[in-house]
Amino acid sequence: MPPRDFVERLHNALSVVAPKGLKHVQTMACGSCSNENAYKVIFIWYNSKIRKGKAFTEEELQQCLVNKGPACPDLSMMSFKGGFHGRTFGCLATTHTKAVHKRDVPSMDWPVASFPQYKYPLEQNVDHNAKEDVRCLQEVQSLFDAYQKKGRPVAGVVVEPIQAEGGDNHGSPRFFQELQRIVKKNGAALLIDEVQTGMGATGTIWAHEQLGLDSPPDIVTFSKKMMTGGYFYTDEMHLDEPYRIFNTWLGDPTKIMLLEETVKVIKRDNLLEVVKDSADALEEGLLDIQNSFPKLISNSRGRGTFRAFDLPTTESRDKFINEIRNAGVQMGGSGTHSVRLRPALIFQRHHAEQFLDIATSVLKKF
């Protein structure tokens, strides 16, 4: 371990789907440890900039062993309300979805910004949603300033292209473009967490491909549908010194083998086009259902088949999920009162039509 051909398999499974501009990859075991170690990379990169290549003294190296001194810098990672990035210790400080994940566990004083809360349909709420973007972006800059004054500067910002656990909350391309500009202006790094959105469900391998960013993000994390965890990163985030990022397995070579075959099937069967076709059927059908049941269904939204809609309350949402499960469809909740759709890449138009028929019959019984 790892096998002799591990580098070749990494190329065939991961490099071929790497986000544009991110030619380096580090494998990990899961989404949480992918983000956790990506945070470490950002902190190392940021503190190295501050030191300007100056080496630590022996005294400073000994101090860091007891969590003191300049080798243990007081830095922070900015995240967003409604974001979910994992349950390990550092990730938990950037997770803001359910109290059950966080209660009784100490955490860091790191900044948490507001994420846009849009009204739908988007075309009927342009002014409101644009103001939401401005409000949240202004808050991001204010937090950069506030934490600089605290002496706990923001080294990086972590954000999901779609807040998948927090309620399927979307940000506009403009929001993400301006966010990246603010992050760069403040000398920090942008981490796009694609643990949930990566690998094609949005109609592209990576959801952030659809955001029109000025340049690639500094780091993109992945797991779940990618079968293995890990992160892609730019040349600037590459660490020269070995052993800074390490754990026992650094991912799972057997999962790399499975991913390699999965990537081949996605290309062979043109599954991204399948996703786009079934997504058209879902989008149109869910809007029809929303119009037919306006007191029950609202805020249909999504990219590709990565979609969601709202019910009026948590109770009505949970009732719908239970009833549609009894009718043969497995679904899950998102946020406080949303239902999320997460079909496989092989989900086709006729499957979408079957789902829409079942959902309609369930709603008629409410």
Active site residues per annotation: 84, 193, 224, 248
User: Residue 96 has which token pair?
Assistant: 């803001």
Q: Which residues contact 70 (CB under 8 A, 6 or more apart)?
A: 56, 60, 63
**β partners of residue 159:** 192
**β partners of residue 232:** 25, 220
Place of tokens 């119009």: 291
* 190: nearest Cα among 250, 141, 230, 233: 233
Q: Judge contact between 304 and 275, C-beta under 8 A.
A: yes
User: Residue 135 has which token pair?
Assistant: 């409000």
DSSP per residue, 75-120:
-EEEEETT----SSHHHHTT--S-HHHHTTS------EE------S
Whether residue 121 is preceded by a cis peptide bond, meaning omega within 30 degrees of 0, is yes
* 207: nearest Cα among 251, 231, 165, 176: 176
DSSP per residue, 22-63:
--EEEEESSHHHHHHHHHHHHHHHHHHHHHTTPPPPHHHHHH
